[in-house]
Amino acid sequence: MDFNLTEEQRLLQQTATAFTKREIEPIAEEIDQEGRIPDTLIMKMAKMGLLGITIDEHYGGAGIGHLNCILACERLAYSGTGAWWLVAFNNSIPACIAKYGSKEIKEKYLRPLCDGISYGSIQFTEEDTGSDPRALRTTAKQSGNSYIINGMKRFSTFAARDGYAVLYVKDKTGKCSAFVIEKNIEGYSVSKNWKLMGGGGIEAADVYFQDMKVPKENSLGDQGQGFEILLFWIAMEKLEQCAACVGMAQAALDEATEYAKSRTIRNNPLSDMQGIRWILADMESKIEASRWLTYRSVSMQDIEAKGWETKAALAKLFVVPACIEVVEKARHIHGAYGYTKSYKIERLYRAIAGASAIATSLEINRSMVGASVLSHWQHSGQ
């Protein structure tokens, strides 16, 4: 088994790292405070080839593997802002459309998402449901060659930004169906962005649909196939999130190491203390394990290995708590200074906190992995 990245992948890492230092880090505090990503950032990412990484070049993508997207998310999340979501959404949403969309849908919607012209959004969650498709209240009723959408969606990232969304609704059969919709058209309105604890720039808002028309041909997949499509997308989102957590944990370790070397106790660096070195060692071990589990899981997706979605759940179950622990240890090393906004670790601490709730809860993933273990045990004849 080859654990080495290719020359192209290492170059992508270097490019994403340089981009983060040049374009994001200088304005990270501003993004965190205002909760908004500068309008020009998505276009800069597109010009660097960070959007639509897996999409065929015919549609404006790069036509390379999902692992490359993960590598980019990891390096961009190092900033402790939500800027990495631009790369995550404008890769996973085009991948979802490419897999389930008709030729017409792909021709119309993929290129703008790859070129940085449009912001991608997912609209499934409602105020009374998080992961249960049976609890959806937003409906789509056919009227001639269109569907009429009524209802609301909660916590939709980039909902107010122009572009396209994959919308999940309850169809006439009571099942979940999916559509590709254009945002900010008649019948579409949004709330103010939610004020979040961390991860500035996620720009999550509620969406309200009032008799919004969607062309019949905008159906994504078959009728009633919506939940299958959602699960495919969520598995990608989990791995993107794991990569982001690794990036934030690495940033936290770097911050803690720098602080420990510069902080003196009785004329000696804090880093000379064995206890501090042990903490740093524990942090490094958790980051390495998390990084390679994430890479392994997304590599399975690239070769379309059976069960990669379950591996994504396993990755989230391990990586998110491990990386949150790393950031907490880094804050602890900073002492009282870690509780001030004068140090980056405070922003990282808030940014990573949402990972246990966003992109499905840890409890849901624990149930998925447990069910997989039992199924494997039964099929192996134990």
pLDDT tens string 315-366? 999 999 999 999 999 999 999 999 999 999 999 999 999 999 888 899 999 9
Across the range 27-45, mean pLDDT stands at 95
Distance CA 86, CA 197 (A): 19
Contacts of 326 (CB under 8 A, 6+ apart): 249, 252, 253, 283, 286, 287
- The pLDDT of residue 3: 83
Rg, Å, the chain Cα set? 21
Across the range 48-62, mean pLDDT stands at 95
Residue-by-residue DSSP string for 57-120: GGGT-----HHHHHHHHHHHHTTSSTTHHHHHHHHHHHHHHHHH--HHHHHHHHHHHHHTSSEE
224: left (phi over 0), alpha (psi -120 to 50) or beta: left
- The pLDDT of residue 130: 74
> Are the C-beta atoms of 296 and 281 separated by less than 8 Å?
no
Across the range 92-102, mean pLDDT stands at 97
- The pLDDT of residue 379: 67
Count of alpha carbons within 13 Å of 12, Cβ hemisphere only?
Answer: 22
Quick check: helix, strand or coil at residue 155? strand
* Six token digits for residue 127: 């105020």
Going by pLDDT thresholds of 50, 70 and 90, the confidence category of residue 106 is very high
- The pLDDT of residue 382: 55
- The pLDDT of residue 160: 97
Give tens-digit pLDDT for 220-270.
999 999 999 999 999 999 999 999 999 999 999 999 999 999 999 999 999
Distance CA 361, CA 340 (A): 29
Give tens-digit pLDDT for 110-155.
999 999 999 999 999 999 887 788 889 999 999 999 999 999 999 9
- The pLDDT of residue 1: 67
Torsion of the alpha carbons at 249, 253, 256 and 257, rounded to the nearest 10: -170
Instruction: State yes or no: pLDDT of 378 exceeds 80.
Output: no
- The pLDDT of residue 26: 97
- Mean pLDDT computed over every residue of the chain: 95
Give tens-digit pLDDT for 275-290.
999 999 999 999 999 9
Going by pLDDT thresholds of 50, 70 and 90, the confidence category of residue 303 is very high
Across the range 294-316, mean pLDDT stands at 95
Domains of the chain: 7-117 (1.10.540.10), 121-224 (2.40.110.10), 228-377 (1.20.140.10)
* DSSP strand pairing (163-170 vs 119-123): parallel
- The pLDDT of residue 134: 84
> Are the C-beta atoms of 54 and 64 separated by less than 8 Å?
yes
Going by pLDDT thresholds of 50, 70 and 90, the confidence category of residue 381 is low
Phi first, then psi, for residue 291 (nearest 5°) are -60, -50
